[in-house]
Amino acid sequence: MKLSLVIPAYNESEGVHQTAQAMRGLLEQLSKTHDVEVVFVNDGSKDNTAALLQDEFKDDSRVRIVSHEVNRGLGAAIRTGLSQAKGDVIITTDFDGTYPLDTIPQMLARMAADDCDICSASPYHPNGHVEGVPDYRLIFSFGASLLYRILVSWRIHTWTALYRAYRRRVVESITFESNDFLAGTEILVKAIQAGFRVTEFPTTLHVRTFGQSSIKIARVTRSHLKFQWRLLLQSLFGKSAFSEVAERSS
């Protein structure tokens, strides 16, 4: 099985060496059982993230760095990475160490055991954990996930995690509009609505280990509330209302 890792990066020069070290260990492990590729998407970084990544992986043909000329947002970076990925299973994850790379084999094992189309990291699962994350981030993330549980599926506990594994058929059939931090949630919602099977990988969400987060809480909150309003209208009045509101807001 061919496996692709898609990792967006924006102004991450402070943590490039740390991430590269973790990635080399992961590649050594995964390459024993999989044909592996890594696609880093440098989303218009203003620092030397791209140059440092190129230097770290200059001798490794399994690793590619794709760059946007300007910063286009996390969702746009995910879209670019998914379009470049060639794997039968594609994993998206954070650059900053919030979900350790060495848990990827465990996620793949959970995906195989549950025979699902999507396996999503879930710190809010009863068996998941959170360590060191600021309260304001947790209030936003947990609150958003609670609303999606009410609106879409109660059995899914975490809706805002980027760390996720997709089978290729999901990537090829699900499109998403968001160019920001809403993108991962939009993919998950639309995949569930399309009938794809989703399971959760209970894991630990850690505080960022290096660099500064680029998330703008107020802006992302507005995006989620807008999307949740569309989902509420869809549940009350059907897809036609959902589509009409989507067209007005685009």
Give the pLDDT band of residue 245 (cuts 50, 70, 90).
very low
- Whether pLDDT at 130 is above 60: yes
pLDDT band for position 239 (50/70/90)?
low
Tens digit of each residue's pLDDT (9 = 90 or more) over 178-209 = 999 999 999 999 999 999 999 999 999 998 66
pLDDT above 50 for 91: yes
pLDDT computed for residue 134 by the predictor: 84
DSSP 32-89: TTSEEEEEEEEES-SSSHHHHHHHHTTT-TTEEEEEESS---HHHHHHHHHHH---SE
- Where do we find the tokens 């061919």? 2
Q: What is the pLDDT of residue 238?
A: 79
Rounded (10°) angle between helices 135-151 and 183-193: 20
Q: Of 205, 207, 26, 59, which Cα lies nearest the Cα of 133?
A: 207
Rounded to the nearest integer, the mean pLDDT of the chain is 92
pTM of the model: 0.91
Contact (CB, 8 A) for 187 and 81: no
- The SS3 assignment for 92 reads strand
Inter-residue contact 196 to 111 (CB < 8 Å): no
Assigned token pair, 56: 């770290």
Q: Is 250 helix (H, G, I), strand (E, B) or coil?
A: coil
- The mean pLDDT of 44-50, rounded to a whole number, is 97
Q: What's the mean pLDDT in 144-173?
A: 97
Identify the H or E element spanning 110: helix 104-114
Domains delineated in the chain: 2-249 (3.90.550.10)
